[in-house]
Structure 1
Amino acid sequence: MQSIILQSARATGVSLVLLLGGCSGLIDKHVEWEVVEPESYPVLTAIGYAPVAQQMGQTENDRSLMAMKASKLDAYRELAEQVYGQRLNGSQSVANMVMQDSQLKASVEGVIRGARVIKSYPVGQDTYATELELDMRKVYDIYLTTAKPKKIRDVTYY
Structure 2
Amino acid sequence: MTLRRILIPALVVTMIGCAPVGQHRNASADRQQTELDPITVRVSGFGTYEQVSKDRLNTRKRLLARRASQLDAYRNLAERVYGTVIYGSSTVNDFVLQNDMFRTYVDSYIRGAKMVAVNEHSDGVVETVMELKLEPRFRACVSRVTDREVQDLCPIPMPRGNDSAGDFQSRGVDSLYYLE
Q: Specify the TM-score bucket, using the shorter chain as the normaliser.
A: 0.5 to 0.7
Deviations 1:23-62 (A, max 9, x none): xxxxxxxxxxxxxx6622100011101012369x8x6111
Residues 1:50 and 2:66 aligned together = no
Paired residue for 2:73? 75
Provide the C-alpha distance between the structure 1 equivalents of 2:157 and 2:74, rounded to a whole number of angstroms. 20
Provide the C-alpha distance between the structure 1 equivalents of 2:35 and 2:159, rounded to a whole number of angstroms. 12
User: Counterpart amino acid of 1:86?
Assistant: T
Q: Which has the higher strand share?
A: 1
Paired residue for 2:61? 63
Displacement of 1:80 in angstroms is 0.4
- Say if 1:53 and 1:126, in contact at 8 Å, map to a contact too: no
Displacement of 1:127 in angstroms is 1.1
Residues 1:142 and 2:172 aligned together = no
Provide the C-alpha distance between the structure 2 equivalents of 1:116 and 1:132, rounded to a whole number of angstroms. 6
Paired residue for 1:89? 87
The within-5 A match list for 1:8-27 is: none
Larger RCO, structures 1/2 (Cα 8 Å, 6+ apart): 1
The alignment's TM-score, normalised by the length of structure 1, stands at 0.58
- Say if 1:115 and 1:134, in contact at 8 Å, map to a contact too: yes
What percentage of aligned pairs have identical amino acids? 28
Displacement of 1:96 in angstroms is 3.0
- Say if 1:44 and 1:135, in contact at 8 Å, map to a contact too: yes
Provide the C-alpha distance between the structure 2 equivalents of 1:131 and 1:46, rounded to a whole number of angstroms. 6
- Alpha-carbon distance change, 38 to 61 in structure 1, aligned in 2, over 3 angstroms: farther
Paired residue for 1:39? 36
- Give the aligned length: 107
Q: Which runs of 5+ in 1 are unaligned?
A: 1-36, 145-158
- Alpha-carbon distance change, 125 to 99 in structure 1, aligned in 2, over 3 angstroms: closer
- Say if 2:69 and 2:128, in contact at 8 Å, map to a contact too: yes
Deviations 1:83-107 (A, max 9, x none): 1111111111122333221111122
The alignment's TM-score, normalised by the length of structure 2, stands at 0.52
Q: CA RMSD of the aligned region, Å?
A: 2.9
Q: Which runs of 5+ in 2 are unaligned?
A: 1-33, 139-155, 161-180
- Alpha-carbon distance change, 47 to 128 in structure 1, aligned in 2, over 3 angstroms: same
Bigger Rg, structure 1 or 2: 1
Provide the C-alpha distance between the structure 1 equivalents of 2:159 and 2:63, rounded to a whole number of angstroms. 32
